[in-house]
Amino acid sequence: MANSEFEYVKREFEFDRRLPASNWIVVRIDGCHFHRFSKIHAFEKPNDESALKLTNSCATSMLDKFPDIVFSYGVSDEYSFIFKEATEFYQRRESKILSLCVSYFTSAYVMKWKDFFPNKELREPPYFDGRVVCYPNMKTILDYLAWRQVDCHINNHYNTCFWMLVMSGKTEKEAQQTLKGTFSRTRISCFLSSSESTMFRKGSSVYRDKVETKVKTNDYGNPIKRMWLAVTVSNVDIIGPEFWEKHQYILRQ
Ligand code: ATP
Ligand code: ATP
Ligand code: MG
Ligand code: MG
Ligand code: MG
Ligand code: MG
């Protein structure tokens, strides 16, 4: 665009914050007023499987769209997206990265709604807030993910007990009162059935996993295989070292 006398409003007033180098960039988005949104759309309580699968599908689209996202983790109405340590996505400009993530996820949520809720009309526009945090080393990024997964575990325990009390005839206020203060992991573990979906207990991790596929057969009839990375959703433990030992390449990009 040609310069005009008004161009100073950009030059002198617009400042881009660039996120520090040598840090993993985490964008965490969270549904706004999803307590209400989940009621309006009659989500199953405590965990609506279709709603979780919808957000997982949106996260998969995010990894397809933005190759520098190396890992994401989601539970309830929130999702965290981790950009690789050395990303130069939009020169690490914070407002670009944050706004693109929030808007792309939100659009995907609206576009995919009918695939997961074919018999439910989307009655109001879902919207999400977002924040960016930088983690400077492997320990803090792994602790970040562990923090979210522990949170998932505790909230799932609480919510499962809460809705059991409600289904047994208590009002929501009474159920809240019953659990208030007395709530602890050990105290309520007896309520929980072990058959509960691992998605509810572990949350969902989305990342590129190594898969092997047969591409063709050679002249001797033996399969020729190719290794490639496919975006995968799994409900694994990401607190302990096992997952990260098996998938070291994820954070080493
Ligand atoms: P960037 O991602 O950098 O913003 P861009 O392709 O969106 O790239 P812009 O400078 O934002 O580029 O310009 C928007 C472009 O979108 C215009 O070049 C124009 O071609 C097109 N566009 C936007 N709105 C309209 C419209 N109402 N009618 C026709 N074309 C439009
Ligand atoms: P805020 O705007 O501050 O984030 P919120 O109402 O979204 O407020 P959260 O703390 O983010 O509150 O909690 C999300 C709420 O959305 C939970 O209380 C839960 O009731 C509901 N919710 C989200 N996902 C699901 C789901 N898959 N199944 C059932 N309920 C869900
Ligand atoms: Mg570093
Ligand atoms: Mg929320
Ligand atoms: Mg939330
Ligand atoms: Mg544009």
Residues with CB under 5 A from ligand 3 (ion): 22, 136
What is the average pLDDT value for the chain, to the nearest integer?
93
The predicted pLDDT at position 183 comes to 58
The predicted pLDDT at position 114 comes to 98
pLDDT in tens, 110-134: 999 999 999 999 999 999 999 999 9
Q: Say yes or no to pLDDT of 157 above 50.
A: yes
Indicate the residue type of 185.
Answer: R
Q: Say yes or no to pLDDT of 168 above 80.
A: yes
Burial of 178 (0-12, 13-18, 19+ CB in 10 A): middle
pLDDT in tens, 29-76: 999 999 999 999 999 999 999 999 999 999 999 999 999 999 999 999
- % of the chain residues with pLDDT over 90: 83
The predicted pLDDT at position 229 comes to 92
CB 32 less than 6 A from any atom of ligand 2: yes
| Stated pTM of the model | 0.93
Of the candidates 59, 29, 58, 35, which has an alpha carbon nearest to the alpha carbon of residue 48?
35
Q: What is the mean pLDDT of residues 222-244?
A: 94
Q: Which of 30, 32, 34 to mutate to test the pocket of ligand 2 (most atoms within 8 A of CB)?
A: 34
CB 151 less than 6 A from any atom of ligand 2: no
Q: Say yes or no to pLDDT of 194 above 60.
A: no
What confidence category does residue 213 fall into, taking pLDDT thresholds of 50, 70 and 90?
confident
- Complex prediction ipTM: 0.95
Tell me the domain boundaries of the chain: 14-143+202-250
CB 51 less than 6 A from any atom of ligand 2: yes
Which residue's CA is the nearest one to ligand 2's atom 21? 35
The predicted pLDDT at position 3 comes to 85
The predicted pLDDT at position 181 comes to 73
Q: Which of 32, 38, 199 to mutate to test the pocket of ligand 2 (most atoms within 8 A of CB)?
A: 38
Does residue 212 or residue 90 have the better pLDDT? Answer: 90
Q: Into which CATH architecture does domain 14-143+202-250 fall?
A: 2-Layer Sandwich (3.30)
